[in-house]
Structures are given as structure tokens and as C-alpha cells.
A and B are shown apart, each in its own frame.
Chain A
Amino acid sequence: MRKAYVFLKRGWITFTSYKMEMIIQYASLLLMVAIFYFVAKMISGVQVPSLTKYGGDYTSFIVVGVVFQWFVTVSLNSFSSSIRSEQTMGTLEFLLMSRTNLSAILFYSALWNFTRVLLNTLVVFLLCMVIFKIHFTLNLLLALLLLLLTVAALSGIGMISAGMILAFKQGDPINWLFVTLTGLLSGVFFPVEVLPPVLKSIAFVLPTTYALTALRETLILNASLSSVSLHVAVLALFSLLTVPTGFFLFRWGFNKARVAGSLAEY
């Protein structure tokens, strides 16, 4: 726990030392929610059948989608970006030479990015509920379980990407593809139901589609665990496949960089 704490402390000190960026970031969150709110207000008189399934309110629909997309992005990118950042700072070798094992270093390095997304999420939900009076049912435990499984499932891919950064000094296209496909096909900005059949069939191959559908049903419609059990099972299965693969390929990238003598190169 002490190690997690010092990584978080490092992230917090660095984050808060850029005061202007911090202010802009939180102002942007307020602005974002306001934009969604007014767009929703504009279309409030219009019947959107595909939204009905999610309670008919566009603000809550889009807010859950956008927050979910943050988690997707951070799960996929934070491992590789943390490794790259340690390389550019010249600190990676000293982390790897410490008495902390490789997997723990990878996990702790990415911890601040996840924490920051979690903080932003809390701020957005607070803004929605306090300022814009948007109602969420907050089945908190189930929502956290779904987020945790989403993060785990995608972190495996993120770890593969971090291994690629160590081995080849550049990211791999899988990350980009996942983030893009999630934005387009998993229902972040619009329900999957509006997609043409071909894209819809691709959407249901992506674990993010299951995760986002289940998350919306949980947060907006107060769904129970039994009603989203299929989604939970898909995410758990995906996690079981990707996490060990991710660790394996990250270690492979690490060993390849040690052979090339390029751990600190970027």
C-alpha cells in the first residue's frame, strides 16, 4: 500500500503543480456537461425510440457514454504512456532496479491515470446531479464491478501496448483501433441500435459494447446483477484472456529491451 501511495502522491504533486492546466481541466468538465445538458434540452420534445430503452434522457445517456470512454482510453493507454513517460524522464531504469517487481511497477505507474479518471468521473456525476438535477440510480457496487471488469479486460491490451513500447519504442495500432471502434460502435454517443446491421454485428464482438450497455442499464435503469449477468460473463472471460496475455507480452518486451540494451531509449 505504501508503494501505491508514493506513486499516487507523485502523480498528485505533478498534477497540482500545473495550476492552470488543472483549472482548465475542471472548467472543461463543467462545460462538457453543460453542452450535453443543452443538447438534451433541445431534443427533449423529440421522440427518439432508441433512447427509450435507456430512460429517454440524452444527458444521462451521453454522460455515462463519455465517462465510459475515458475508462476505455485510460485502460488502453495508461500503461504504455506511463512507461514512455518514465523513459523520457530517465527514471525507468531506476524503477526496474528497485526491489519492486516488474508487474507491480507496471500497475503502480498507471495508478495515477486511473485515479485521475475516477476523480473526473466523480466530478462529472456531482455536476450532473447538483447543478443540472440529472438523476442517476447509482447502483454503485454493480457499476464499480462493471467498470473494474472493463478496466481489467482492456488493461490486458494496454499491457501488450506497453510491451510494444519497450520492445519497439512505439505504440501499436491495436490501441488506436480499440479506442476508435469503441467511440464509433460501442454506443458512446448514440445507441448501438441505430447502427446498420453490419456495424451492429461488429459492435457486439467488442467487449466495450457489453460493458457500456450494462453500465447504462445499471446507472440509468437501476438494473440488477442478474439482468446484466451475460455482460458480466463476457467481460470476465475477456479479462481472463487478455490480462495473462498482457503480462506475458509486457515481460517479453522488457526482456527484448534488456537484450537490445534499450530500456531507457525512446
Chain B
Amino acid sequence: MIQLHDLTKVFKTRNQKTLAVDGLSFEVKQGEIFGLLGPNGAGKTTTIRMLSTLVTPTSGDALINGWSILTAPENVRASIGISLSDERSFYYRLSGYQNLEFFGTLQNIPRRQLHARIIAMLEKMGLIEAKDTKFMKYSTGMKRKLSLCRALLVDPPVYFFDEPTTALDPPSAIETRETILDLKRTGKTILLTTQNMHEAEQLCDRIAIINKGSLVVVDTAQDLKRKLKTCTVQLVISDSSLLPLEMFQSQSYVDQISLSDGVCTIVTTDKMKLLDMLLSEKEGIRPILHDIRITEVSLEDVFLRYVKGERV
């Protein structure tokens, strides 16, 4: 449904060239929620802007619903609904309803259908009470919600959401995520960017991590975590002087070890072997062990490792 082929963007100014997106290639299947993660300036928004035909790529191409962003931009625009992270983009002196009526009309939605859709969207996003309030009186979260309403007014096969829950309070963020999952249930294809790892894990079927414009890895959240092969084991101990630190460090499955305030933190690639050793009769530390806490690797750990360029 979405195919990127070596998509590249170089921004040129008088004195310098900036490589914003460097040969991105990946595919998003129909009905899939695909997350684009990356640090600030990684090229996520530029990628979405290229895919929505607002920015022309320097080289490469992308197909949206079978249409090329280079040769059929009108068809691409007719195939997408989009919510960008900039919560301005509305007319300040028009109400929420009037703004949606304006943009919905430009999307060729028939008048009667448009009214019903606007009301349904405003109700869904909890803005119905504020439908006649001028946009300039909206809070940041309300502006963000209205932007989502605008994206959802149309019924295209593909949606792009650029940081859809930024500035939303927790209940609104949960509702927004539910709305995105509803879209997936109806077979829509969704490409979203987010800085919220929990959100990415909760929503996305697959995740691409990009850094400095380049694709670093694409996989499911589960497999990304599995690839990292590490977990953290914390040992709460009564006497740290009896802890055989050197013996721990000599084990091949121990990556890092640190000791602080009676808590020994060990990053390991094989927690079962580590636990075997810790609890063994001969070498174990049972007499001084008060508690063991095991923390599995998080998507945030994966993200940080990949973005820092560490080998996984």
C-alpha cells in the first residue's frame, strides 16, 4: 500500500547541503500500522511531507495506493488523510465546526454527508461542546484533536499521523490510539511517527527506526527487543563486600555490572544462566540475597541502542 524506493531528500541553502532523508526504502502493507521512530531531526516529518507530496524528493520515489508521488501527486493526495504535528493550520476566527466545514468542502465531501461526519468526528474526539467556539480559544490539546478530526473527515485507504498524541492529556491520548486502532480494523493503512515508545509498541505492527535520515532497522517491536538479547537483573543484597564481583565480570553472558546503595545491577544476555549461577549451592550468593528484580528490555532501550549506533 505504501512503498518507498530509495527516497532521498537533500535541502540546499546558499552555503550548505543537508541530507535530511537518505535512501529510505521500506514497504507498509495494507491494513498495517507502521511506526516511524527516530530522534529529533531524523527525517520522520520530511518523509511524511514527501509522501504527502508537499516536498519533492531529490531522488527516489514512493507509491501510495499504487500512485507515484512524482507522477501522480493528485491521486496520491486523494488517497491519503493526514494530521501533521503543527497544531496551527486552522483559521483562528472560525469555529471548530466552520473550520471542518471549510476543509471538508475542499475535500469534495457532499454537503449532507459532511455535516454528519463533522458532528460524528467532533463527538468522537470530545469536541462537540466546543464546536461553535472559535479556534483561537481552543487549548493546545483541542487544536490537536481538531487536526485529527480533519484527517478523519475523509475516508481514504491511507492515513499519515505525525505525532498524533503530542500535547494530548492521557484520556485523550488513549481515545486517539483507540481511534487509530479502529481505522486499522476497517482495513486502513497507517503510517505514524511518534516519540512515545509505549504508543509505538501498543499501536504498531512494525516499527522502523531512522537516524540521520537513514533506515536503521525495521521489525516488530517484539523482534526488535528480542534482537537486543539483554535484560537487567537487580540484586538487593545485605553485604556488598561479600559479593564476588570479579567472578560475575568474568562470565561471557554479563555485559555490564554496577553496584550502588546495596543494589547490584547486572545487564546480561542470558538471564537463565545468570540466575543459575546466582542461586547455585557452591558459588551462589543466597545468604546475602534479599531480593531479585528482573527487567526485560524495553523498546526505549532498543531505540537508544540503535540510535547510538551500538551493534546489536
Seen from chain A, the residues whose Cβ lies within 8 Å of a Cβ on chain B are 2-3, 5-7, 9-10, 13-14, 17, 89-91, 93-101, 105, 255, 258-261, 263-264
Contacts and interface: CB of A to CB of B under 8 A. Distances in A.
B93 A13 contact: yes
A13 B11 contact: no
Interface in B17-53: 20, 46, 49, 52-53
B105 interface: yes
A95 B53 CA distance: 12
B262 to A, nearest CB: 54
A263 B54 contact: yes
Contacts of B9: 261
B77 interface: yes
B265 interface: no
Contact of A93 (B89, B101, B106, B111): B89
A261 B93 contact: no
Nearest to A261: B55
24 contacts: A6-B101, A6-B102, A6-B106, A7-B102, A10-B102, A13-B93, A14-B91, A17-B93, A89-B88, A89-B91, A90-B88, A93-B54, A93-B89, A94-B89, A94-B150, A96-B54, A97-B80, A98-B107, A99-B78, A99-B106, A100-B106, A255-B56, A259-B56, A261-B55
A97 B107 CA distance: 9
Contacts of B150: 94
Interface in B82-105: 82, 84, 86, 88-94, 98, 101-103, 105
Contact of A98 (B46, B98, B103, B134): B103
B89 A89 contact: yes
Contacts of B223: none
Contacts of A255: 56
Contacts of B106: 3, 6, 95, 98-100, 105
Task: Bin the interface of chain B by size.
Answer: 35 or more
A10 B104 CA distance: 13
A14 B93 contact: yes
A259 B55 CA distance: 6
B102 A261 contact: no
B10 to A, nearest CB: 10
Contacts of B111: 2
A93 B92 contact: no
A260 B11 contact: yes
B74 A101 contact: yes
B67 to A, nearest CB: 13
A3 to B, nearest CB: 6
B258 interface: no
Given A258-B55, A261-B49, 20 more contacts: A2-B105, A2-B111, A3-B106, A5-B105, A6-B102, A10-B98, A10-B102, A17-B134, A89-B91, A90-B86, A91-B88, A91-B91, A93-B89, A94-B103, A97-B54, A98-B106, A258-B54, A261-B11, A261-B54, A264-B86
Contacts of A5: 105
Given A99-B106, A100-B106, A89 B101 contact: no
Contacts of B107: 98-99
A93 B46 CA distance: 13
B108 interface: yes
Interface string B216-228: 0000000000000
Given A2-B105, A90-B86, A93-B54, A261 B91 contact: no
B111 to A, nearest CB: 7
Contacts of A263: 54-55
A18 B12 CA distance: 41
Contacts of A96: 54
B178 to A, nearest CB: 25
Contacts of B12: 260
Nearest to B147: A94
